[in-house]
Structure 1
């Protein structure tokens, strides 16, 4: 890569611009300079080189092809087409012209035309790896992943170290749902490129997709052998141990990466989760505390710290730490549920009620949120507000439990007519839970309840 950027011609050209001097370049040298800038998407300098080159060589065909590549690069379709037409009879066999024309039709969302021009370019036996990659992209555009895969494989035949081709092949296998075929392909690739870190890593991921964790471990071990500082390799290896319920080995693997891990907070968090699985609360707590020391904005770690304090019976500490999580991420409904639960546990019902108001706003399509909110309001004696909340819940649900609850509200407010009305609706929706509701709402246990209208007797 350093050799690529250390281009003597480009250095001379930029030195000329910096010093505002006039330096002579052959037309083919200008073509090389322009190609360099186009390859790194520096269209500003490519245009400067084109302007200077055309001042010296106004009719040069090779420069016009570079100009076409420039117009295609900046997606100037009008000028691109004008040049394509101008150069067609002169350049119909030129590889660069054919590739630029293919790219033009690709930009125009006409993949079949692009494919035709890429195939014409292949006849010149130049830049085959690049052209086959482009063909693969076009075949994906027309939903032909099999043909795309063949093209990307061809690209690898010309350049076996091209990671773009490698990843594109894997993508095609995934689109085709050919996981085992992908594994066979990667094994063949590794036979040719045994030190390809990416190939071993992708092989491990494919084994993970098949839940073959021992095989995946083998692949990720090779990733780490090739690159002893591969965070991804250590992370996936630890994940394999987690799936095998080998929590101590998972912890050891995570710890092995800490010396060179620039995301140590997440690693400490994963170690804490592993300790949690082993029911080692104190070690888990220490790991989560290390995580938030590394990254004080790590809300998930604060949440886990709150959970551990809750499990240890430290309600006030649990409340303190869940507030920390909420200060960082106020849109996580699970944090609000935990905060509401902890407030209920400590007898802070008003705070819990405020939490539920947010919970139903964040997660309106969860039936139990509305039911729990209304139950809390009833326990606070706020029957009218509970009824209002239940009426709102009917926009999303038509559940008997909510009608039972609403009937309960109206009975508690001494509004027997409405209470009986919603109780009847509840029974009609789901009579099978009658006994459960009788047990839950003792007010329903009274037989032959008399309303203001003697004809309206309701037995449940």
Structure 2
């Protein structure tokens, strides 16, 4: 690719400067060359080289306003705000119409969280600048800092009116629309934008994303197709398109799109997992397992990968294989509640009740407070004859589900089992109050208790 004259001159200036540093010979540069060199080093994070260049620059051009403004920028970067402010006041006395003075003053105000004042200064800069897009972009950022998304959106739109190619402003406009829950308005705006800039793959991609968020998957795919036609290496658009195709159950096409992302870059565990899911839904079980295995090989810490393999074998009723994989997952992360719940469920299916009880206990210990987890755990404790532990577990569950009839009926049955009839009646009464018709739980879970006259009479009394 051929470089422009400006790029060639810039590269020559840079190599000339670095050669000078190596030889200790002092060479002459004009002030604009120095500005570009210094800003290059600031942008590259090479602060010490930027300072060296600035020192030499000011020695050669002590009266250059441009270099002094670069010096101010460095002072602001290093949080020497008072000194930077003092220098700007001196420069203002010399060049009150220099927009960069107002921009740097606004930058200082922004760093001091004086965002409204920063906006005022940037609006003054608009009177003197030729680069309206840059200033509108800065104003938009200040409004973002103030959480004024409407004004931020308007500023970024004005920026794009000045410079259609400003991609950061385009992303920021969409961000504001989305934050304000104006997805349809965002699509309308982007469609207008595309009329002026039809080959913006970013705009097409954002339209696709917005349609996807609104569950308008066919429109989303159409937009992603345009994005990938403009840029056939746009990995994000291929990934989003694949997700939309999955939503429409077009699994073969989704696989093609996911595979394209793998061609463009290293395989991601997410893409491999989704390809596996698509193959499973197409009935390609061997390919599904192949991709699930590749997923966990690519990222052993991705719990969704291990869960996909485990759940696949559970659906196939191959509990031995399912247990093998969930044990492998637990060997990598033994504090994952999702793994422990599956470990418990699989062991329960295999009639390994003590292991199942341990699994549910661990799932709760690591943060699984779903109702079904508590109930499965308690039902196994009851099956194992550990009535006191079952009661304590249910009382713990009431902290999360204080008005849950399934817990109350179980507590009633368990208290009847240990002959504590006062507490049993109290919880039976609660269960009947919360959901009378669910008293059949007593019959299902505690058939011996169900036969007792006390229980039958108590239910009959509540029925009346």
TM-score by length of 1: 0.88
Moved over 6 A (4+): none
Among candidates 79, 92, 111, match of residue 88 of structure 1:
92
Cα gap change, 1:17/1:136 in structure 2, threshold over 3 Å: closer, same or farther? same
| Alignment correspondent of 1:105 | 109
1:348-387 equivalent positions in 2, closer than 5 A:
348-363=352-367, 365-387=369-391
Among candidates 248, 255, 260, match of residue 244 of structure 1:
248
1:301-312 equivalent positions in 2, closer than 5 A:
301-312=305-316
Aligned length: 454
For 1:371 and 1:178, locate their aligned partners in 2 and report how far apart those are by CA, in whole Å: 42
Among candidates 156, 160, 175, match of residue 156 of structure 1:
160
Do residues 209 (structure 1) and 213 (structure 2) align?
yes
Q: Determine if contact 2:10/2:33 at 8 Å carries over to the other structure.
A: no
1:349-428 equivalent positions in 2, closer than 5 A:
349-363=353-367, 365-398=369-402, 399-427=404-432
For 2:9 and 2:390, locate their aligned partners in 1 and report how far apart those are by CA, in whole Å: 69
Residue by residue, what CA displacement relative to the aligned partner does 1:392-435 show, whole Å, maximum 9, x if unpaired?
22332323332332232233334445444444454455544334
Q: CA deviation at 1:104?
A: 0.9
Q: Secondary structure at the match of 1:123?
A: helix
| Alignment correspondent of 2:77 | 73
Cα gap change, 1:42/1:312 in structure 2, threshold over 3 Å: closer, same or farther? same
Q: Secondary structure at the match of 1:7?
A: helix
Among candidates 319, 322, 344, match of residue 318 of structure 1:
322
Residue by residue, what CA displacement relative to the aligned partner does 1:183-237 show, whole Å, maximum 9, x if unpaired?
2332333333333221221121122233332222222122222232332222222
For 2:53 and 2:407, locate their aligned partners in 1 and report how far apart those are by CA, in whole Å: 73
1:2-81 equivalent positions in 2, closer than 5 A:
3=7, 7-56=11-60, 60-81=64-85
Q: Determine if contact 2:42/2:50 at 8 Å carries over to the other structure.
A: yes
Moved more, 283-292 or 167-176: 283-292
The gaps in structure 2 that reach 5 residues or longer are 460-464
For 2:335 and 2:131, locate their aligned partners in 1 and report how far apart those are by CA, in whole Å: 51
Q: Secondary structure at the match of 2:128?
A: coil
TM-score by length of 2: 0.87
- RMSD over aligned Cα atoms: 2.9
Q: CA deviation at 1:84?
A: 3.1
Q: Secondary structure at the match of 1:228?
A: coil
For 1:60 and 1:109, locate their aligned partners in 2 and report how far apart those are by CA, in whole Å: 30
Q: CA deviation at 1:238?
A: 2.0
Q: Determine if contact 1:292/1:298 at 8 Å carries over to the other structure.
A: yes
Cα gap change, 1:229/1:59 in structure 2, threshold over 3 Å: closer, same or farther? closer
Q: Determine if contact 1:43/1:74 at 8 Å carries over to the other structure.
A: no
Q: Secondary structure at the match of 1:217?
A: helix
Q: Determine if contact 1:213/1:240 at 8 Å carries over to the other structure.
A: yes
The gaps in structure 1 that reach 5 residues or longer are 451-456
